[in-house]
Homo-oligomer: A and B are copies of this chain.
Amino acid sequence: MTGSPSRERRYRRTHSVTMLEPEEAYPMKIPGIIGGVGPESTIDYYRTIINLYREKYDPDGYPEIVIASINMTRMLAMIEAADMAGLVKYLLHGFARLKAAGADFGAIASNTPHVVFGEILERSPLPLISIVDATTASAASAGIKSAALLGTAFTMRNDFYRIAFERKGIKLHVPNADEQTYIHRRIFDELEFGVVKSETRAGFDAIIDRMLGDCGIEGVILGCTELPLLFAEPAGPGGLPFFNTARIHIEEIVATMAR
| A residues whose Cβ falls under 8 Å from a Cβ of B | 10, 13-15, 17-18, 22, 25-26, 36-39, 42-43, 46-47, 50, 60-74, 77-78, 81, 83, 86, 89-90, 93, 97-98, 100-102
Contacts and interface: CB of A to CB of B under 8 A. Distances in A.
Contact of A71 (B36, B38, B39, B64): B64
A42 B47 CA distance: 10
A106 to B, nearest CB: 12
B71 A62 contact: yes
Contacts of A66: 66-69, 97, 101
A62 B77 CA distance: 13
A73 B62 contact: yes
A70 B78 CA distance: 33
A42 B46 contact: yes
A62 B72 contact: yes
A187 to B, nearest CB: 15
Given A66-B68, A68-B66, A74 B25 contact: yes
Given A38-B62, A62-B39, A17 B101 contact: no
A191 to B, nearest CB: 15
Given A36-B64, A66-B97, A98-B101, A18 B73 contact: no
A40 to B, nearest CB: 9
A252 to B, nearest CB: 19
Nearest to A90: B22
A204 B68 CA distance: 37
Contact of A73 (B43, B60, B86): B60
Contacts of A70: 62, 64
B100 A73 contact: no
Contact of A68 (B13, B38, B101): B101
A36 B30 CA distance: 13
Nearest to A43: B43
A10 B71 CA distance: 11
A15 B83 CA distance: 12
A74 B17 contact: yes
Given A18-B83, A64-B36, A69-B64, A97 B89 contact: no
